[in-house]
Structure formats: structure tokens, C-alpha cells
């Protein structure tokens, strides 16, 4: 076994169908009495329901969370939190809503109580991102790590099947890169492999029957594990590419992850132990092809061309993704990365 560093992050998790009922108790544990509930406009009704359940412990809702946390939204939400005298943020939603809570926590030290409703995993990480002038700046800060997380699979029943599939593959991408991370370790690998297994087993059932609570529960459990490894181990080429494609070319987050993943895995095929673990978790003979075939079963878009990427932008994307070095199992070089992007653009089976 190689030498490693294990750096566990603090986390309190309340998991299970109906766990949302524990929210008042969790707020009390944090000593919070004036919660601000955050959501996207699409999830306004869920936020209102949570606010009602909190009664006098809720001072208001803010429902303008948006993808990649635009700086104007972050600043407005901070002003709202301050003017209401909030002492805690309750985020009800996916990565965009959790991200807005993190933007508030970053400048106020306010604790976050997170109620995730997608599989993105942001609730398990100290990573924040804020977008200004078309560029997303990310950083790590212990203040933005939620103090308590309530995973209630009943809240994910409304996540449309296509978005569930893409979001689940976003989670699997965290686990895949954790398996070959330069910061990997045996605990991270255990969680990553189990996270992939749980999601690969449950996502096809969810696509067939979005209200299958047992499958939703298994998927959310897998997403939790994938979130932990995202927060614990540095990511590599795949996440860099998706960051570039989302940030500079405005492609949708979860779908971009799904499309790029089989090609990034193929690029990093030399990471033999990671490949064997991915294969075992998927029950497949070949890691990259196993991921591709799972995505076909999930009826996901398979080509960057399908989600708004222009062929003429591939070279620029490859240049941005390779201009500064970062750890990756295989050297990150312009020509093979451009080839990877071309394959993802055309949706070839690796």
C-alpha cells in the first residue's frame, strides 16, 4: 500500500425518507433561531413549505438562486440575510442553491443547514464558486462547509428523470476522479467505489420510474458518498474540462459532466487500480465503455454538439484546459486533450 494522508472533514448527516421533519431539531442543535431559507425560483414552493414548517424560527425566504452563483445574486442575498437578522441559512435545492448559501457563509460566518435535492454533492464540500464577468472563481474555505445536512430522498422524487440521470453521473464523476486523485487514500477509494456502485444500480430504475423511493434512497446514499470524496480529494482533468466548458462556454453543468466522463476516463486509462474499481462498481469489463453504456441506458445526451457546444470552440476549450499544469494520472497535453474533446463532441464510444 502506498503512503497517504487522510484528512476527514466534519459532517453531520441525517438521512432517510421523511428526514426533513428533523429540520427544527437540527436548527436547535446549531443554536439558530432566525433561519433564512434559500431556493431557486423553480423550487419556491418547497422553500415556502420548509419556511412554514419552521414557523417562528424562519425569518424569510430568498428564492433567486441561479447556476454558478452570479455575484449580483450573492450580494443581494447577503444584504437580505443581514437586513432580516438571519443567523443561519437553510438551503433547499441542488448545487446552485447550496452554492448561494456558501456565498453568504463566506462573508458572514453564518452556519449552513443543507437540504440537497439533487446528486451534485456540494453540501459535503468546503468548495465555493462565485461568477463575475463571465468567469467563475472557486476556492476552499472551512466556513462554507454545511454544519448539518438532511438527506431526504422523498424530496428528490420530483427531480425529472433526465436531470436525475445527469446529476447522478455528475456524482459518479467525483468518485471516478477521487479513485485516481493525487490526494486519494484507502478510505476515499472505499467510499468512491461504493458511491459508483449505488448510483449505477439505482439510476436506471429512476429513469424507468421516477417515484421509486427505494431507488431514490440508494441514489441519494451514493451521491452522499460521492460528495464526501469530492470534498476530500483533489479532482483532475475531467473536472477541469467541465469547469472550462461550463464557465467559458456556458454548457449545462450536470449534462456536461455526463458527456465528458467516458472520454476523460479513457484518457486516464493508465490509472489501472482506479479502472479495476470502476469496472467492479459498474459490473462492466471496461471502465470507460462501461460508463458510456450506462449513460446510453439512461438515455442521456451523448454529444457535446447536443448541448450547445460549437465545433469551432473546441480548440479554445482545449487551450484553456491545458494552459496551466495540474495533477492528473496522464500528462495533460493540448493535442490529446483536443482529441478527447472531439470524441466528446461527436459522442464516440471510447
Q: Which residues bind ligand NAD (CB under 6 A)?
A: 40, 42-43, 67-68, 93-97, 99, 117-118, 120-122, 125, 127, 129, 155-156, 158-159, 163, 167, 170, 230, 253-254
Q: Which is nearer to ligand NAD, 162 or 305 (CB)?
A: 162
Q: Which is nearer to ligand NAD, 147 or 253 (CB)?
A: 253
Nearer to ligand NAD, 32 or 124 (CB): 124
Comparing every residue's Cβ against ligand NAD, the nearest one is 95
Q: Are 231 and 114 in contact (CB under 8 A)?
A: no
Helices 314-322 and 334-346: crossing angle, nearest 10°? 140
Evaluated on CA atoms 10, 16, 98, 216, the torsion sign reads: positive
Q: How far is the CB of 235 from ligand NAD (least distance, A)?
A: 10
CB closer to ligand NAD out of 1 and 135: 135
Q: What backbone phi and psi angles, to 5 degrees, belong to 106? A: -60, -35
Supply the minimum distance, in Å, between the C-beta of residue 160 and ligand NAD.
7
Residue pair 120/195 in contact by the 8 Å Cβ criterion: no
Q: What are phi and psi of 35, to 5 degrees?
A: -85, 140
Cell numbers for 287, please give them: 471502465
* Beta carbon nearer to ligand NAD, 10 or 55: 10
Output 86 or 230, the one with its CB closest to ligand NAD: 230
Asked if residue 320 lies in contact with residue 248, where contact means CB atoms within 8 angstroms, the answer is yes
Element (H, E) at 61: strand 58-62
CB 191 to ligand NAD: min, Å = 15
Comparing CB distances to ligand NAD, the nearer of 94 and 262 is: 94
- Residue closest to 230 by CA, chosen among 186, 273, 191: 191
Helix (H) or strand (E) holding 231: helix 213-232
- Min dist CB 67 to ligand NAD, Å, is 5
Q: How far is CA 33 from CA 23, 46, 51, 209, 305, in A?
A: 12, 20, 12, 39, 48
Q: How far is the CB of 264 from ligand NAD (least distance, A)?
A: 16
CB atoms within 10 A of CB 220: 27
In whole angstroms, the minimum distance from the beta carbon of 94 to ligand NAD comes to 2
Q: Which is nearer to ligand NAD, 254 or 278 (CB)?
A: 254
Strand partners, 131: 70, 136
> Residue 201 burial by CB count (10 A; 0-12/13-18/19+): exposed, middle or buried?
middle
| Nearest residue to 144 via CA among 194, 94, 91 | 91
Cβ–Cβ under 8 Å, residues 38 and 47 = yes
DSSP 21: G
Closer of 73 and 343 to ligand NAD (Cβ) = 73
Q: Cα–Cα distance between 129 and 215 in angstroms, integer?
A: 31
Amino acid at each position: 500500500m502506498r503512503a497517504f494522508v487522510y484528512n476527514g472533514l466534519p459532517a453531520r448527516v441525517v438521512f432517510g425518507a421523511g428526514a426533513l421533519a428533523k429540520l427544527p431539531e437540527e436548527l436547535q442543535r446549531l443554536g439558530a433561531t432566525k433561519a433564512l431559507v434559500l431556493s431557486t425560483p423553480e423550487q419556491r414552493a418547497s422553500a415556502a413549505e420548509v419556511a412554514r414548517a419552521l414557523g417562528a424560527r424562519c425569518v424569510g425566504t430568498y428564492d433567486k438562486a441561479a447556476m454558478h452563483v452570479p455575484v449580483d445574486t450573492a450580494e443581494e442575498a447577503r444584504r437580505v440575510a443581514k437586513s432580516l437578522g438571519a443567523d443561519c441559512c437553510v438551503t433547499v435545492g441542488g448545487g446552485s442553491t447550496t452554492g448561494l448559501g456558501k456565498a453568504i457563509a463566506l462573508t458572514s460566518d453564518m452556519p449552513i443547514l443543507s437540504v440537497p435535492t439533487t446528486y451534485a454533492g456540494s453540501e459535503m464540500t468546503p468548495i465555493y464558486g462565485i461568477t463575475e464577468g463571465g468567469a467563475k472563481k472557486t476556492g476552499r474555505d472551512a466556513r462554507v462547509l454545511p454544519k448539518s445536512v438532511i438527506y431526504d430522498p422523498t424530496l428528490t422524487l420530483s427531480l425529472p428523470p433526465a436531470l436525475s440521470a445527469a446529476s447522478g453521473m455528475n456524482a459518479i464523476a467525483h468518485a471516478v476522479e477521487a479513485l485516481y486523485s493525487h490526494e486519494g487514500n484507502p478510505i476515499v477509494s472505499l467510499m468512491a467505489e461504493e458511491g459508483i456502485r449505488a448510483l449505477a444500480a439505482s439510476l436506471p430504475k429512476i429513469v424507468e420510474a421516477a417515484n421509486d423511493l427505494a431507488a431514490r434512497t440508494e441514489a441519494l446514499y451514493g451521491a452522499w458518498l460521492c460528495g464526501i470524496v469530492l470534498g476530500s480529494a483533489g479532482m483532475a482533468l475531467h473536472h477541469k474540462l467541465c469547469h472550462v466548458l461550463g464557465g467559458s462556454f456556458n454548457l449545462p453543468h450536470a449534462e456536461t459532466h455526463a458527456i465528458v466522463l467516458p472520454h476523460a476516463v479513457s484518457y486516464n486509462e493508465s490509472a489501472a487500480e482506479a479502472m479495476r474499481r470502476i469496472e467492479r462498481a459498474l459490473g462492466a469489463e471496461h471502465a470507460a465503455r462501461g460508463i458510456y453504456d450506462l449513460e446510453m441506458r439512461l438515455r442521456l445526451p451523448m454529444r457535446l454538439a447536443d448541448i450547445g457546444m460549437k465545433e469551432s470552440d473546441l480548440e479554445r476549450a482545449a487551450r484553456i484546459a491545458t494552459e496551466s499544469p495540474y495533477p492528473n494520472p496522464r500528462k495533460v497535453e493540448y493535442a490529446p486533450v483536443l482529441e478527447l474533446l472531439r470524441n466528446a463532441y461527436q459522442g464516440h464510444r471510447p
